Homo-oligomer: A and B are copies of this chain.
Amino acid sequence: MRITTGYGDRGEVRRPTLRDVADRAKVDPSLVSRVVNLDESLRIPESTRERVLLAVKEIGYRPNAAARGLRMQRANAIGLVIPNLSNPIYSEIAQGAQSEASQTGYSILLTTDPSLEQIPAARNSMIGLLAEGRVDGVLLASGTSNNELMRHLRDLDRPVVMVNRELPGVDAAVTVDDERGAFVATQLLLGNGHTCIGHLMGPQGIDTSERRAVGYRKAMNDQGVVAKSNWIAHSRSWGIGDGYTATLDLLDRAPELTAIFVSNVSLAIGLYRAASERGYVIPVDLSIVALHNYEITDYLLPPLTTVSLPLHELGRTAVRHLISLFKGGEPERLRIDAEPHVTLRGSVVCPRES
């Protein structure tokens, strides 16, 4: 059912308000407000409540976010900043966040973080949404450090939760156990008899990269294998091309490697090409394991063995923590402790006898 304003041109419609519901149910607007907001302390005859809810349904009433936000001084919305749309891991995090948020009555507003490429656009993204009060707080899943963004966030003084990323100025963070994932991945290679295992790291100075490197080293040490420094290479960023470049460098510096643990799937895709150009055949000459798992891994030649982490749960927990901050809770650093999941595919074999 629609309520048309008499003077609206082109059949324009006015969205139904609390008043419209109240009129229809023959009650006071404030009563309707309390019914739709499930006010516990409201004791009214069941019949009245039903009448109100019926009117809400018939009329198609949805509370106006602007009015509610103005009154309550909060938007009931959460911003989620991801670096780009091309990385499937953010899809999984975002879905986790979405499902938790919708259970709690919050909307998720997604923005990418283009600030690296174009500073002016950055202001129009999450900073703008925060400054205008469109979101109450922010989940920062952006993988690259970005001082300007951080400074703005600080100035705005709204709750921020880092998602799988720890940063000096922010006390609230949720992470998966990257170190454990890297440990398991490296162990897998060790278990196949490899000892000359390299590590293609993510960018230097990113804590995610570092945590994974720690897991790699720990697994090596546990087996009494010393990881030489030339067995490790940083990529410039997380892209495919960065993996390609870093791998060329790594293979030239460490021709003795028989296996490589790669910090993520995109880097591994670049690695595949670099290895092939250097004459390595995967997995015969070089076994590969990478972190995270998505569809394309099945379609690489050979299919890529992966170790994946609970990203859906990461998104859920991040939302929960942010909401607890809204309610005055203390910022914490939380870790999701689910065991990483290993998917064996064709990219790992035992080293050749030499």
- Which one of B66, B273, B299 lies within 8 Å of A299 (CB-CB)? B273
CA distance A108 to B114 in the complex (A): 13
- Interface residues in A198-251 (C-beta closer than 8 Å to B): 239-241, 244
A172 to nearest B CB, angstroms?
14
Could you tell me how many residues of chain A have their Cβ less than 8 Å away from some Cβ of chain B? Answer: 66
* Additional 15 contacts, C-beta under 8 A, given A66-B69, A86-B91, A272-B299: A2-B157, A9-B328, A62-B132, A64-B132, A65-B69, A85-B91, A85-B94, A86-B88, A86-B294, A86-B295, A101-B124, A107-B124, A107-B134, A240-B295, A240-B298
Determine the chain B residues whose CB is within 8 A of the CB of A70 once the complex forms: 64, 66-67, 70
Cβ of A15: which chain B residues have Cβ within 8 Å of it? 133
Is A111 interfacial (CB 8 A cutoff)?
yes
User: Do A66 and B62 form a contact, CB below 8 Å, given A107-B129, A114-B98, A299-B272?
Assistant: no
| A66 in contact with B133 (CB, 8 Å) | yes
**A183 located at the interface, meaning its Cβ lies under 8 Å from any Cβ of chain B in the complex:** no
A234 to B168, CA, bound (A): 51
A and B contact pairs by CB, cutoff 8 A, 15 listed: A2-B157, A64-B133, A65-B75, A66-B67, A77-B134, A84-B91, A85-B91, A86-B86, A95-B114, A99-B121, A108-B111, A134-B134, A244-B299, A272-B301, A273-B301
Is B328 touching A299 in the complex (CB atoms < 8 A)?
no
- Given A86-B88, A91-B85, A114-B98: A295 in contact with B121 (beta carbons within 8 A): no
Asked if A150 lies at the interface with its beta carbon under 8 angstroms from chain B, I say no
Bound complex: CA A90 to CA B65 (Å)? 28
**A87 contacts across to B, CB distance below 8 A:** 85-86
Chain B residue contacts of A133, Cβ below 8 A: 15, 64-66
Decide: B134 and A121 in contact? CB cutoff 8 A.
no
A348 proximity list for chain B (CB < 8 A): none
Shortest C-beta distance, A235 to chain B (Å), equals 14
| A191 interface contact, C-beta 8 A | no
